[in-house]
Amino acid sequence: MIQPGQLVILISPKGKRYMHKLVPGNEVHTQEGKLLLDDVAEAGFGGCARTHLGKPYLVLKPTVYDLIKGVKRQTQIMYPKEIGYVLLKLGIGPGSTVIESGTGSAGLTLALAWFVGDTGKVYTYERREDFFKLAMKNLDRVGLLHRVEQVNQDIENGFKHTGADALFLDVREPWLYLQHIPKAVLPGAMCGFLLPTTNQVSDLLRGLDEGPFVETEVLEILVRRYKPVADRLRPDDRMVAHTGFLIFTRYMEKPEPLLLPETDASEVDPTEMDPDEDEASPLS
């Protein structure tokens, strides 16, 4: 039995997806008829509820992926293909504190809030009031607003918060704010950036070269889906290719020359990563 207030994903016979908060007595009007949310609650996650016309709807619990894709947006949100890498690269987990600027519609903010848990905190800055209010609604809708502290201001004068474990900037000219990072994060903290064009990436790299940053990485993430038909397996006709460049770097309070490797991280011999490992993993 699904509890009142929980979010549910409803999938039609044709694969159309609806996300709703379960409110007893409410109903959802679809192209296949009226669907009672009381019937959805009784069906439970993984079950099936039928409209008044007898059409079956699959009832599922939303994943973080679903929540991100379902945010109401006035801005372009970061795609899940980038968000997954960002979370791992920044080391986000239960208890983490992270500073973000450029909240937008709160796609990344939602993911950060999910993974920091109730013991962590997300401090997100947005200068536009309309985006600030939209982000608040999106976070409240999925029940994650309590893990986020929103700040409706520009970061030109720095951040109100200090001692963060990680930082991410989704702003047009992030190189203008690099001088504020040392006061905002802990030494050794990972910092990330999202930029749409190569000339912006070059400007950011010049700024990073002049500051206390090491282990800088630039990449883009492409997703190529395949048609899931066993006898005719082939790529989809369309793919989500370039959506933005990701840049990562690590803030070091006193960077030493030896921390600036001459080789790219991708060129490191994996056998050198753990010199104490004498034998291969059982899973290899």
Whether residue 260 has pLDDT greater than 70: no
What are the two backbone dihedrals, phi and then psi, of residue 56, each rounded to the nearest 5 degrees? -80, 135
Mean pLDDT of 258-272: 54
Summarised one tens digit per residue, pLDDT across range 233-258 is 999 999 888 889 999 999 998 776 64
**Which tens digit of pLDDT belongs to each residue from 186-222?**
999 999 999 999 999 999 999 999 999 999 999 999 9
Residue 277 has pLDDT above 60, yes or no: no
Alpha-carbon span 281 to 167, nearest angstrom: 34
Q: Is the pLDDT of residue 159 over 80?
A: yes
36-95 pLDDT tens trace: 999 999 999 999 999 999 999 999 999 999 999 988 888 887 889 999 999 999 999 999
Give the mean pLDDT of the chain: 91
d(CA 220, CA 217): 10
* pLDDT > 70? residue 278: no
For residue 100, give the nearest of 117, 118, 68, 78 by alpha carbon.
Answer: 78
Complete domains list, the chain, with CATH? 7-62 (3.10.330.20), 70-264 (3.40.50.150)
The whole-angstrom separation of Cα 145 and Cα 85 is: 23
Burial of 59 from C-beta contacts in 10 A (0-12 / 13-18 / 19+): buried
pLDDT at 259 over 80: no
Q: Is the pLDDT of residue 284 over 50?
A: no
Closest to 12 in 3D by CA, of 54, 42, 43, 64: 54
The pTM assigned to this predicted structure is: 0.86
